[in-house]
Structure 1
Amino acid sequence: MTIHSDHPFVPPESDRDVVRRFRGRLAASVTVVATGEGRDRSGLTVSSLVIVDGPKSRVVAFVDPDSELGEAVDVGTCVTVSLLTDGDQFLADAFAGLAPAPGGAFRLGDWNDTAWGPVHAQRSWLGARIEGVRELGYALEIVAVVEHAEIHGEEGLVHVRGRYRSS
Protein backbone atom coordinates (compact mmCIF):
# COMPACT_ATOMS: atom_id res chain seq x y z
CA MET A 1 0.00 0.00 0.00
CA THR A 2 1.30 3.45 -0.91
CA ILE A 3 0.55 6.61 1.01
CA HIS A 4 0.10 9.58 -1.31
CA SER A 5 0.93 13.11 -0.25
CA ASP A 6 -1.69 14.35 -2.74
CA HIS A 7 -5.22 13.16 -3.44
CA PRO A 8 -4.74 10.17 -5.79
CA PHE A 9 -7.75 11.02 -7.99
CA VAL A 10 -7.21 14.75 -8.49
CA PRO A 11 -5.96 15.52 -12.00
CA PRO A 12 -2.64 17.37 -12.32
CA GLU A 13 -2.91 21.18 -12.09
CA SER A 14 -2.18 21.53 -15.80
CA ASP A 15 -5.37 19.54 -16.59
CA ARG A 16 -7.64 21.53 -14.26
CA ASP A 17 -9.93 24.39 -15.31
CA VAL A 18 -7.84 27.58 -15.05
CA VAL A 19 -10.83 29.72 -14.01
CA ARG A 20 -11.63 27.36 -11.12
CA ARG A 21 -7.95 27.43 -10.11
CA PHE A 22 -8.05 31.25 -10.15
CA ARG A 23 -11.26 31.31 -8.08
CA GLY A 24 -9.66 28.92 -5.57
CA ARG A 25 -6.96 31.51 -4.89
CA LEU A 26 -9.52 34.14 -3.87
CA ALA A 27 -10.05 34.03 -0.11
CA ALA A 28 -13.77 33.82 0.61
CA SER A 29 -15.77 34.05 3.81
CA VAL A 30 -17.63 30.87 4.68
CA THR A 31 -21.36 31.21 5.35
CA VAL A 32 -24.45 29.07 5.60
CA VAL A 33 -27.36 30.44 3.60
CA ALA A 34 -30.60 28.99 4.94
CA THR A 35 -34.36 29.22 4.63
CA GLY A 36 -37.47 27.58 6.02
CA GLU A 37 -38.49 26.43 9.47
CA GLY A 38 -38.82 23.20 11.41
CA ARG A 39 -38.53 20.14 9.18
CA ASP A 40 -38.76 22.33 6.07
CA ARG A 41 -35.39 24.00 6.63
CA SER A 42 -32.76 23.91 3.92
CA GLY A 43 -29.28 25.33 3.95
CA LEU A 44 -26.03 25.30 2.03
CA THR A 45 -22.45 26.34 2.66
CA VAL A 46 -21.85 29.36 0.43
CA SER A 47 -18.58 31.22 -0.16
CA SER A 48 -19.56 32.74 -3.51
CA LEU A 49 -21.29 35.72 -1.97
CA VAL A 50 -21.04 39.50 -2.05
CA ILE A 51 -22.68 42.28 -0.04
CA VAL A 52 -23.73 45.33 -2.05
CA ASP A 53 -24.08 48.44 0.13
CA GLY A 54 -26.66 51.09 -0.66
CA PRO A 55 -29.95 52.63 0.50
CA LYS A 56 -31.30 49.08 0.23
CA SER A 57 -28.29 46.85 0.81
CA ARG A 58 -28.30 43.53 -0.97
CA VAL A 59 -26.66 40.17 -0.64
CA VAL A 60 -25.88 38.30 -3.85
CA ALA A 61 -25.15 34.59 -3.52
CA PHE A 62 -24.32 31.97 -6.11
CA VAL A 63 -25.53 28.46 -5.30
CA ASP A 64 -25.86 25.08 -6.98
CA PRO A 65 -29.27 25.10 -8.70
CA ASP A 66 -29.67 21.38 -7.91
CA SER A 67 -28.99 21.85 -4.20
CA GLU A 68 -31.77 21.61 -1.63
CA LEU A 69 -31.43 25.37 -1.07
CA GLY A 70 -31.45 26.12 -4.79
CA GLU A 71 -34.71 24.22 -5.16
CA ALA A 72 -36.29 25.88 -2.08
CA VAL A 73 -35.85 29.54 -3.02
CA ASP A 74 -37.75 31.89 -5.29
CA VAL A 75 -38.65 35.58 -5.44
CA GLY A 76 -40.18 36.56 -2.09
CA THR A 77 -38.48 33.78 -0.10
CA CYS A 78 -36.76 34.90 3.09
CA VAL A 79 -33.20 33.69 3.68
CA THR A 80 -30.53 34.05 6.33
CA VAL A 81 -26.78 34.27 5.94
CA SER A 82 -24.84 33.05 8.99
CA LEU A 83 -21.13 33.90 9.04
CA LEU A 84 -19.21 30.85 10.25
CA THR A 85 -16.25 31.10 12.62
CA ASP A 86 -13.17 29.08 13.51
CA GLY A 87 -14.39 25.78 14.89
CA ASP A 88 -17.26 25.58 12.37
CA GLN A 89 -15.23 23.70 9.74
CA PHE A 90 -17.14 20.41 10.20
CA LEU A 91 -20.44 22.29 10.08
CA ALA A 92 -19.37 23.95 6.81
CA ASP A 93 -18.48 20.56 5.34
CA ALA A 94 -21.79 19.07 6.51
CA PHE A 95 -23.85 21.82 4.87
CA ALA A 96 -21.73 21.41 1.72
CA GLY A 97 -22.56 17.69 1.68
CA LEU A 98 -18.92 16.73 2.27
CA ALA A 99 -19.31 15.38 5.83
CA PRO A 100 -21.91 13.12 7.42
CA ALA A 101 -24.78 14.75 9.30
CA PRO A 102 -27.14 12.05 10.61
CA GLY A 103 -30.57 13.63 10.95
CA GLY A 104 -29.49 16.62 8.86
CA ALA A 105 -26.95 19.42 9.18
CA PHE A 106 -29.28 21.55 11.31
CA ARG A 107 -28.75 19.04 14.14
CA LEU A 108 -25.14 20.23 14.30
CA GLY A 109 -24.69 23.32 16.44
CA ASP A 110 -27.36 25.58 17.91
CA TRP A 111 -29.85 27.13 15.48
CA ASN A 112 -32.41 29.81 16.25
CA ASP A 113 -35.52 30.48 14.18
CA THR A 114 -36.03 34.06 13.01
CA ALA A 115 -38.55 35.81 10.77
CA TRP A 116 -36.11 35.16 7.87
CA GLY A 117 -35.20 31.56 8.65
CA PRO A 118 -32.73 29.66 10.83
CA VAL A 119 -29.51 31.31 12.04
CA HIS A 120 -26.50 29.75 13.72
CA ALA A 121 -26.57 30.94 17.34
CA GLN A 122 -24.05 33.57 18.44
CA ARG A 123 -22.82 34.24 14.90
CA SER A 124 -23.06 37.39 12.80
CA TRP A 125 -25.98 37.07 10.41
CA LEU A 126 -28.22 38.76 7.87
CA GLY A 127 -31.92 38.33 7.21
CA ALA A 128 -32.99 39.08 3.64
CA ARG A 129 -35.88 38.73 1.19
CA ILE A 130 -35.15 37.45 -2.32
CA GLU A 131 -35.97 39.88 -5.13
CA GLY A 132 -34.37 38.02 -8.02
CA VAL A 133 -33.28 34.51 -9.01
CA ARG A 134 -31.66 33.55 -12.31
CA GLU A 135 -29.27 31.01 -13.73
CA LEU A 136 -25.83 32.41 -14.37
CA GLY A 137 -23.23 30.04 -15.75
CA TYR A 138 -23.47 26.82 -13.74
CA ALA A 139 -24.87 28.67 -10.72
CA LEU A 140 -28.15 30.06 -9.50
CA GLU A 141 -27.73 33.76 -8.73
CA ILE A 142 -29.82 34.86 -5.75
CA VAL A 143 -30.25 38.60 -5.12
CA ALA A 144 -31.88 39.51 -1.81
CA VAL A 145 -32.62 42.81 -0.04
CA VAL A 146 -31.09 42.88 3.45
CA GLU A 147 -33.80 43.57 6.03
CA HIS A 148 -31.90 42.76 9.24
CA ALA A 149 -28.28 42.39 10.35
CA GLU A 150 -26.60 41.39 13.61
CA ILE A 151 -22.88 41.48 14.29
CA HIS A 152 -21.14 39.44 16.96
CA GLY A 153 -17.48 39.93 17.83
CA GLU A 154 -16.07 36.73 16.39
CA GLU A 155 -13.66 36.42 13.51
CA GLY A 156 -15.03 34.87 10.34
CA LEU A 157 -13.97 31.60 8.76
CA VAL A 158 -12.26 31.89 5.36
CA HIS A 159 -11.78 29.30 2.61
CA VAL A 160 -8.83 29.53 0.23
CA ARG A 161 -7.20 26.87 -1.96
CA GLY A 162 -9.29 24.10 -0.46
CA ARG A 163 -8.48 24.90 3.18
CA TYR A 164 -10.18 26.75 6.02
CA ARG A 165 -8.49 29.60 7.87
CA SER A 166 -9.67 32.14 10.42
CA SER A 167 -9.75 35.73 9.27
Structure 2
Amino acid sequence: MRRLAATVTIISTGEGGERQGMTATAVTSVTTDPPAILVCVNQSASLHPVMASGTRFCVNLLKDAHAEVAGAFGGKLQGAARFTAGEWSDNETGVPFLTDAQANIFCTVDALMIYGTHTIFVGKVDEVRLFGDIAPLIYQDGRYIKAS
Protein backbone atom coordinates (compact mmCIF):
# COMPACT_ATOMS: atom_id res chain seq x y z
CA MET A 1 0.00 0.00 0.00
CA ARG A 2 3.02 2.31 0.33
CA ARG A 3 2.95 2.61 -3.46
CA LEU A 4 -0.62 3.89 -3.48
CA ALA A 5 -0.41 7.69 -3.66
CA ALA A 6 -3.23 9.65 -2.01
CA THR A 7 -4.25 13.28 -1.58
CA VAL A 8 -3.76 14.38 2.02
CA THR A 9 -6.81 15.80 3.80
CA ILE A 10 -7.79 16.92 7.26
CA ILE A 11 -11.18 15.85 8.54
CA SER A 12 -12.49 18.49 10.94
CA THR A 13 -15.62 18.89 13.01
CA GLY A 14 -16.94 21.13 15.74
CA GLU A 15 -19.33 19.40 18.10
CA GLY A 16 -20.69 21.55 20.92
CA GLY A 17 -18.04 24.19 20.29
CA GLU A 18 -15.23 21.64 20.70
CA ARG A 19 -13.04 21.26 17.62
CA GLN A 20 -11.69 17.88 16.57
CA GLY A 21 -9.66 16.83 13.55
CA MET A 22 -7.31 14.30 12.03
CA THR A 23 -5.19 13.81 8.93
CA ALA A 24 -6.67 11.30 6.49
CA THR A 25 -5.78 9.83 3.11
CA ALA A 26 -8.56 7.22 2.95
CA VAL A 27 -11.01 9.65 1.34
CA THR A 28 -12.77 9.35 -2.00
CA SER A 29 -15.70 10.55 -4.04
CA VAL A 30 -18.73 8.22 -3.94
CA THR A 31 -21.37 9.76 -6.22
CA THR A 32 -22.21 13.03 -7.93
CA ASP A 33 -25.98 12.50 -7.63
CA PRO A 34 -26.38 12.96 -4.76
CA PRO A 35 -22.94 14.46 -4.15
CA ALA A 36 -21.23 12.28 -1.54
CA ILE A 37 -17.75 11.49 -0.26
CA LEU A 38 -16.45 8.71 1.96
CA VAL A 39 -13.95 8.92 4.79
CA CYS A 40 -12.39 5.99 6.67
CA VAL A 41 -11.67 6.61 10.37
CA ASN A 42 -9.96 4.23 12.77
CA GLN A 43 -12.30 3.36 15.64
CA SER A 44 -9.54 4.20 18.12
CA ALA A 45 -9.23 7.79 16.81
CA SER A 46 -10.51 10.56 19.08
CA LEU A 47 -12.56 11.86 16.14
CA HIS A 48 -14.44 8.56 15.73
CA PRO A 49 -17.14 8.94 18.41
CA VAL A 50 -18.02 12.42 17.17
CA MET A 51 -18.28 11.20 13.57
CA ALA A 52 -20.35 8.19 14.69
CA SER A 53 -22.90 10.57 16.22
CA GLY A 54 -23.89 11.66 12.70
CA THR A 55 -22.33 15.10 12.88
CA ARG A 56 -21.39 17.63 10.24
CA PHE A 57 -17.75 17.63 9.15
CA CYS A 58 -15.37 19.14 6.63
CA VAL A 59 -12.90 17.43 4.32
CA ASN A 60 -10.07 19.93 3.85
CA LEU A 61 -8.02 19.09 0.75
CA LEU A 62 -4.47 20.17 1.56
CA LYS A 63 -2.08 22.05 -0.70
CA ASP A 64 1.55 21.08 -1.18
CA ALA A 65 2.53 23.79 1.34
CA HIS A 66 0.54 22.14 4.16
CA ALA A 67 2.93 19.33 5.19
CA GLU A 68 3.42 20.90 8.65
CA VAL A 69 -0.35 21.20 9.19
CA ALA A 70 -0.82 17.58 8.09
CA GLY A 71 1.85 16.50 10.58
CA ALA A 72 0.18 18.40 13.42
CA PHE A 73 -3.14 16.64 12.75
CA GLY A 74 -1.38 13.34 12.11
CA GLY A 75 -0.21 13.00 15.70
CA LYS A 76 2.43 15.66 16.40
CA LEU A 77 -0.17 17.69 18.33
CA GLN A 78 -3.21 16.49 20.29
CA GLY A 79 -6.80 17.71 20.68
CA ALA A 80 -7.57 21.39 20.24
CA ALA A 81 -3.83 22.20 20.00
CA ARG A 82 -3.92 20.80 16.45
CA PHE A 83 -5.88 23.88 15.38
CA THR A 84 -2.90 26.12 16.21
CA ALA A 85 -1.30 24.82 12.99
CA GLY A 86 -2.65 26.69 9.98
CA GLU A 87 -5.38 29.32 9.78
CA TRP A 88 -8.82 28.04 10.76
CA SER A 89 -12.29 29.53 10.71
CA ASP A 90 -15.79 28.15 11.39
CA ASN A 91 -18.64 28.05 8.89
CA GLU A 92 -22.17 29.12 9.87
CA THR A 93 -22.91 25.67 11.37
CA GLY A 94 -19.77 25.70 13.55
CA VAL A 95 -17.65 23.32 11.45
CA PRO A 96 -13.99 24.39 11.41
CA PHE A 97 -12.22 24.64 8.06
CA LEU A 98 -8.68 25.43 6.93
CA THR A 99 -9.07 28.80 5.22
CA ASP A 100 -6.31 28.32 2.63
CA ALA A 101 -6.97 24.66 1.79
CA GLN A 102 -7.33 24.10 -1.94
CA ALA A 103 -10.89 22.96 -1.22
CA ASN A 104 -13.23 22.54 1.74
CA ILE A 105 -16.00 19.97 1.35
CA PHE A 106 -18.67 20.41 4.03
CA CYS A 107 -20.72 17.27 4.69
CA THR A 108 -23.23 15.63 6.99
CA VAL A 109 -22.75 11.98 7.95
CA ASP A 110 -25.39 10.13 5.92
CA ALA A 111 -24.33 6.48 6.34
CA LEU A 112 -21.65 4.39 7.99
CA MET A 113 -20.29 0.88 7.81
CA ILE A 114 -17.93 -0.80 10.25
CA TYR A 115 -15.16 -2.83 8.64
CA GLY A 116 -12.33 -4.27 10.73
CA THR A 117 -10.63 -1.55 12.75
CA HIS A 118 -12.24 1.30 10.82
CA THR A 119 -15.60 2.87 10.13
CA ILE A 120 -16.42 4.01 6.62
CA PHE A 121 -18.44 7.23 6.82
CA VAL A 122 -20.41 8.48 3.82
CA GLY A 123 -20.91 12.21 3.92
CA LYS A 124 -23.64 13.97 1.98
CA VAL A 125 -22.00 17.07 0.53
CA ASP A 126 -23.75 20.23 1.72
CA GLU A 127 -21.35 22.87 0.42
CA VAL A 128 -17.99 23.20 -1.35
CA ARG A 129 -15.53 26.06 -1.03
CA LEU A 130 -12.62 26.37 -3.49
CA PHE A 131 -9.46 28.40 -2.93
CA GLY A 132 -6.43 29.07 -5.15
CA ASP A 133 -4.78 26.78 -7.63
CA ILE A 134 -4.79 22.98 -7.68
CA ALA A 135 -1.56 21.90 -5.98
CA PRO A 136 -2.31 18.86 -3.79
CA LEU A 137 -0.19 17.49 -0.99
CA ILE A 138 0.34 13.79 -1.73
CA TYR A 139 1.24 10.98 0.67
CA GLN A 140 3.20 8.05 -0.76
CA ASP A 141 5.80 5.62 0.56
CA GLY A 142 5.46 6.98 4.12
CA ARG A 143 6.15 10.64 3.26
CA TYR A 144 4.56 13.80 1.92
CA ILE A 145 5.40 14.73 -1.67
CA LYS A 146 4.40 17.42 -4.15
CA ALA A 147 2.34 16.40 -7.17
CA SER A 148 4.63 18.11 -9.66
Give the corresponding residue for 2:122. Answer: 143
Q: TM-score, normalised by structure 2?
A: 0.88
Which structure shows the bigger proportion of residues in strand conformation? 2
Quote the offset at 1:53 in angstroms.
2.9
Q: TM-score, normalised by structure 1?
A: 0.79
| Ranges in structure 2 where 5+ consecutive residues have no aligned partner | none
Give the corresponding residue for 1:111. Answer: 88
1:87 maps to 2:65: yes
Give the corresponding residue for 2:4. Answer: 26
Give the corresponding residue for 2:143. Answer: 163
Structure with bigger gyration radius? 1
| Ranges in structure 1 where 5+ consecutive residues have no aligned partner | 1-22
Quote the offset at 1:149 in angstroms.
0.8
Q: Which letter does structure 2 place at the counterpart of 1:150?
A: R
Q: Distance in 2 between matches of 1:63 and 1:126?
A: 17
Q: Counterparts of 1:1-167 in structure 2 under 5 Å?
A: 23-36=1-14, 40-74=18-52, 76-97=54-75, 99-100=76-77, 104-114=81-91, 115=93, 117-123=95-101, 124-154=103-133, 155-167=135-147
Q: Distance in 2 between matches of 1:71 and 1:103?
A: 16
Q: Distance in 1 between matches of 2:55 and 2:46?
A: 14
Moved more, 115-124 or 137-146: 115-124
Q: Quick one: structure 1 residues 160 and 116, their matched pair in 2 at CA, closer, same or farther if it must change by over 3 Å? A: farther
Quote the offset at 1:32 in angstroms.
0.3
Q: Which letter does structure 2 place at the counterpart of 1:143?
A: V
Percent of aligned positions with the same letter in both sequences? 27
Moved more, 48-57 or 101-110: 101-110
What is the CA RMSD across the aligned residues, in angstroms?
A: 1.9
Aligned length: 144
Q: Distance in 1 between matches of 2:139 and 2:23?
A: 11
Quote the offset at 1:60 in angstroms.
0.4
